[in-house]
Structure 1
Amino acid sequence: MKRKGRPVHGWVIVDKPLGLTSTQCLAKVRRLTDAAKAGHGGTLDPLATGILPIALGEATKTVNWVMTAGKTYRFTVRWGEATETDDTEGAITQRSDVRPDRAAIEAMLPSFVGEIMQRPPAYSAIKVDGQRSYDLARKGEMLELAARPIRIDALRLIDCPDPDHAVFEVDCGKGAYVRALGRDFALSLGTYGHITVLRRTRVGRYDEKAAFSLDSLEELCQKDAAHAYLLPIETALDDIPALVLTGPQADRLKHGQPIKIALTAPGLPPEGELLVMADGKPVGLAERSADEVRPLRLFNL
């Protein structure tokens, strides 16, 4: 018999442990919370740790907004060795005796900030002729994927603990591969490199302060303390202007009917997406065009 689960709605911010896939983490959270529906807001590699936002119930309708949000990662590059996977999982393919010093590393960073072109790792989820690149790579077909535009908002050199390693922090947009960033840092400095440690510390507005380990989450679920870990659906939509409606207006929108608002409504853009609220609760997402607001995605709460 198919598992149904409870109508739990909101976001759980998990601190994903090392070695677990994002799908495994999602399955565990869904089991702990007994949620009827669940989805995650952006895959983390098994060798990465950190922020994995998990949507429960109607929050799954906002996953796309979280997946496109800015992210922050802290990572360590090991100089002098390239690997098949650009991290510690793959075999070493190239070696170099060159070790960049702190001054050279800091001078290199500005060239990677802004809109840049990046070649994704061969071991990635990008599809090539209908197949995942990592599946082809595992069969021995090491493809050189086409470079694509990504956005790097900021780069910081955190530490150089020894000549072989450097620790960085990056703020980036959707689609950036940190493994590729480490590889390209090394190449630009005349050596080889790969990532040895990778941790995501922020996704949109969700950071480490909001995150729970799976063990902590299990304890809270056993105490039935959902209020302690469950964040409201609308926290994923903080950067979308909010439109507050009366009960009757919200009912019209829920039935798929457009509503009229003043052209000069304070604090609202003349067009674009809006988060609709009524009685302190999220109604859904809507699209404004001049004085008309039409529903896009509605929440069944």
Structure 2
Amino acid sequence: MAAGKAWQRVDGVLLLDKPSGITSNAALQQARRLFSAAKAGHTGTLDPLASGLLPLCFGEATKFAHDLLAADKSYEAEVCFGIATDTGDADGAVVRRCPIAFDAAALNDALARLRGPLEQIPPMHSALKHQGRALYTLARQGIEVERPARQITIHRLQLIDFSGERCRLHVRCSKGTYVRSLAVELGEALACAAHLSALRRTAVGSLQVADALPLAALAELSAEERTGRLLPLDRLLQGLPAVHLDEAAALRFRHGNPVGDAQPPGSYRVYDAAGRLLGVGESDAERPQLRPRRVVGVA
């Protein structure tokens, strides 16, 4: 940040089109400096190899970043056949080569077997922790540890094109899915080495990369124009049903108290009578009143 320029409170959501070749945190910090935002976070890491939609949260929006982590993600992925790498993607070292001996029909059959509920073992080259240490740190030391399989769902896995050595795919998947692991699994289903050679995230929940702005374009905007690109806090919460409270209930909610009549179990985005977001509330069968889970701070 330029000398003498102070951090300031900025609240909102920015849809960033992250370039490939940098980490999600590096992209976040560049955007944060452009806004001089005192507090910032993102809603799920994209690997350096990957480009595409990276929703960034500033200020009070960071309280709701977790709610978007559970959303389905959509990608356009490129898989390279005949070559395996130690990371499962193009950033890794080549560990095996093999001939390609399948056709488009066999590829489509393999894709069909990978749709729906699956168990997937997270890769060693990932940011997941084992006894407080990131798995990729252990992997770089040549250490491999047992990782429990995760239940994921591949909602869509559609072939875009196939050249014989590479294919492009549309992927829509549940949270926790590693697309590079999916590329390796596709190779295994075809008895062929494979790795993820390119990845672009096109959607996170209802958020679309078509509405995102690249870093270079963001830097060219005036401060006023950049502020105009910020979405309201509740843009992260559109998957939750809405509840509106009267003035007295809204005040109780802001102070951390349960409010309202019994609600069906679940999470809700909560507004006051004027339509201002108060936060996220939740109820369950044992405590059916709406209880504050995260509350927006007063500016």
Query: Cα deviations across residues 198-233 of structure 1 (Å, max 9, x unaligned)?
Result: 11111111111220101121223x242245310111
- Aligned counterpart, 1:224: 224
Give, in whole Å, the separation in 1 of the partners of 2:85 and 2:149: 19
Is residue 22 from structure 1 mapped to residue 34 from structure 2 by the alignment?
A: no
Checking the alignment, whether the CA contact within 8 Å between 1:80 and 1:99 is kept in structure 2 is no
Checking the alignment, whether the CA contact within 8 Å between 1:151 and 1:173 is kept in structure 2 is yes
Q: TM-score, normalised by structure 1?
A: 0.91
Checking the alignment, whether the CA contact within 8 Å between 2:10 and 2:58 is kept in structure 1 is yes
1:142-291 alignment runs, 5 A limit = 142-143=144-145, 145-160=147-162, 162-220=163-221, 222-261=222-261, 270-278=264-272, 279-288=274-283
Query: Cα deviations across residues 120-161 of structure 1 (Å, max 9, x unaligned)?
Result: 22211122333222111111224564432212111111111x
Query: Cα deviations across residues 23-42 of structure 1 (Å, max 9, x unaligned)?
Result: 11111111111112100000
- Aligned counterpart, 1:87: 89
Q: Would the alpha carbon gap of residues 184 and 9 (structure 1) be closer, same or farther in structure 2, given more than 3 Å must change?
A: same
Please report how far the alpha carbon of residue 4 of structure 1 lies from its aligned counterpart in structure 2 after TM superposition. Answer: 6.2
Q: Would the alpha carbon gap of residues 177 and 291 (structure 1) be closer, same or farther in structure 2, given more than 3 Å must change?
A: closer
Unmatched tracts of structure 1, length 5 or more = 264-268
Give, in whole Å, the separation in 1 of the partners of 2:82 and 2:288: 60
Give, in whole Å, the separation in 2 of the partners of 1:272 and 1:146: 28
Q: Would the alpha carbon gap of residues 291 and 195 (structure 1) be closer, same or farther in structure 2, given more than 3 Å must change?
A: closer
Unmatched tracts of structure 2, length 5 or more = none
- C-alpha RMSD over aligned residues: 2.0
Checking the alignment, whether the CA contact within 8 Å between 2:218 and 2:226 is kept in structure 1 is no
Give, in whole Å, the separation in 2 of the partners of 1:58 and 1:224: 20
- Aligned counterpart, 1:266: none
SS at match of 1:224: helix
Q: Which is worse superposed, 204-213 or 177-186? A: 204-213
Give, in whole Å, the separation in 2 of the partners of 1:208 and 1:256: 36
Give, in whole Å, the separation in 2 of the partners of 1:259 and 1:147: 40
Give, in whole Å, the separation in 2 of the partners of 1:275 and 1:202: 21
Q: TM-score, normalised by structure 2?
A: 0.92
Give, in whole Å, the separation in 1 of the partners of 2:78 and 2:288: 51
Q: Percent identity?
A: 39
Checking the alignment, whether the CA contact within 8 Å between 2:35 and 2:223 is kept in structure 1 is no
1:57-68 alignment runs, 5 A limit = 57-68=59-70
Query: Cα deviations across residues 216-257 of structure 1 (Å, max 9, x unaligned)?
Result: 21223x242245310111011111111112223211211223
Checking the alignment, whether the CA contact within 8 Å between 1:99 and 1:163 is kept in structure 2 is no
